[in-house]
Structure 1
């Protein structure tokens, strides 16, 4: 056992304190002596700590423990560097400002601990914050601190609560083909085709609102998604590219919809090749907030209950899956971001996308509805 007055080492020094515990010190790259924040029960533990500090210096991973960067300052810079879409940026800004910064803004990054994160999350839950919002806040906090680890500002991410970044969503309903037509019958005529395309082609509302005349090919029975509308508080209504490269896609629609769409284009769409397919009651862009009133009235009239517009997209995916669509084909029709660009068009060449549309068409024909063409009903 070395004497309690300390001993000479190649790197750093260890000495035994009157309390019986051991203290470790070393000279940092800046020439100043550094003392471990805590003492150690054994000399071996102190030696191991010094070995780790030396390794950090040799690997270039050493950080000055005296530099204390506030979480709020780091988070602000981190957020500016994110390449978010407008809607995602706005949503995450709300999460950061409302749920994260009030607790962690003034704390130095190095002083944030796992117990603090755990207490913060528990406080949000007890305050009645929704499960999805709590999970999202945890995801953002974890991402910020993960970057701090990558930057060498902290050694370990304190967000270590298993399952805290996930939330179990209740299973959303999907509609039968007759129920889709009940909804289509319940909305104003200029919204009828919107309901049918959403359900039978699994398109998002923003994608539908941005469709132009040249995106609809009545002969080929396809609709091309090239852009989408997004509504933000800061920037208002903006046109943006789909959520990912895979979102730019061409989807076959059931042949039974051709007459419906031809009628809609003739009666309700804007004029010109780039005219909007769907317009609002006053001739402007179809906005989600304005359409919500129409949607709620249709639900009340049909008695379909708690159905979201996005459930029509779920319906289209379910119908396609029932028709035997492969995973890749489903991901294409829905514009899923994990599909590689080459796979987006691969199955279109062999006609499988039209097979999917034909199956949905068969389900529509089983309802035996009369044509809803230019003569109307």
Structure 2
């Protein structure tokens, strides 16, 4: 059997794949796997060909992250081919080739976040603040309804997300995992901004979208980036960052405020510790706070111990 037919069937037969994952697999197959392997019989794909294919992608300037994703897909397809006894061994044996080494994301200061919120179109001020201080993803924010926000309790409930699917447009789906459905406690600092936003910009009714575009419809990420995001960054004098970096900033702030790994996982909507561990690398500010707290603790205990020793000396003298 030829790889192209087998890989196409493999993608179509995967159970419970999310629409965006299917879209990603189809893109990786069409653009990066099929040109090299599509017409080859599975048994003809050998280790040297896989190495040359990967090197050619990197040499052409395909990002390391995309190459890692394509390699993982190729390896997964051929692993199933081994299970189906169509080939004897998997030729994908490049150590570390499937690992993504993303560049470290930038972190804004609180002052920079507010500078951005002050600069961007007023309709999107609360979007910037909730993305940061609620650590929410773009799709989670744009999928929020009025009934999901409880300002009295200071919470926002994440139950769905709004994503773009090729050929279908914007579609409401459930979060990536069960952990993605969560209640996030938000700081009182942004309550007034959210109240003002609900009054001026949100759709009407409990089911109305909290964040809507100028036409009162759902916000398209591409339109937002083109018309508002880049301009706001430039006007605020900030570097070119992605909207998702606001979530990263919020996670970092939460970690610096003392959130545990479990608390970060709950806040971020992750079921594993891997992502939360990223934020446990203490910043200089947080490490200084820890050192100061340790200093106070040690001094208090030394003072108590010294007082006890003096009392004992007085008792012996008496």
TM-score relative to the length of structure 2: 0.83
Higher helix share: 2
| Cα-to-partner distance string for 1:204-237 (whole Å, 9 max, x where unaligned) | 0111001000000011100000110001222111
Q: 1:138: which partner in 2?
A: 71
Higher relative contact order (CA 8 A, sep 6+): 2
Q: Runs (4+) of structure 1 moved beyond 2 Å? A: none
- Structure 1: distance between partners of 2:59 and 2:231: 35
CA contact (8 A) 1:110 1:154 kept: yes
User: Deviation of residue 282 (structure 1)?
Assistant: 1.0
CA contact (8 A) 2:46 2:91 kept: yes
CA contact (8 A) 1:243 1:337 kept: no
1:317 corresponds, among 229, 242, 251, to: 251
**What runs of 5+ residues in structure 1 fail to find an aligned partner?**
1-68, 340-377
Q: 2:241: which partner in 1?
A: 307
How many correspondences in the alignment? 271
- Structure 1: distance between partners of 2:264 and 2:224: 27
Of the structure 1 ranges 78-87 and 93-102, higher mean CA displacement relative to structure 2 is found in 78-87
CA contact (8 A) 1:246 1:338 kept: no
2:46 corresponds, among 101, 113, 130, to: 113
Structure 1 residue 167 and structure 2 residue 100: aligned? yes
- Structure 2: distance between partners of 1:84 and 1:131: 24
CA contact (8 A) 2:149 2:155 kept: yes
User: Deviation of residue 76 (structure 1)?
Assistant: 1.2
- Structure 2: distance between partners of 1:202 and 1:103: 40
- Structure 2: distance between partners of 1:135 and 1:256: 41
Q: 1:263: which partner in 2?
A: 196
Q: CA RMSD in A?
A: 1.2
Select the structure of larger CA radius of gyration.
1
- Structure 2: distance between partners of 1:253 and 1:234: 36
CA contact (8 A) 1:174 1:311 kept: yes
**What runs of 5+ residues in structure 2 fail to find an aligned partner?**
274-318
1:289 corresponds, among 195, 215, 222, to: 222
- Structure 1: distance between partners of 2:67 and 2:58: 7
| Cα-to-partner distance string for 1:301-349 (whole Å, 9 max, x where unaligned) | 011112110000001100110111111110111111437xxxxxxxxxx
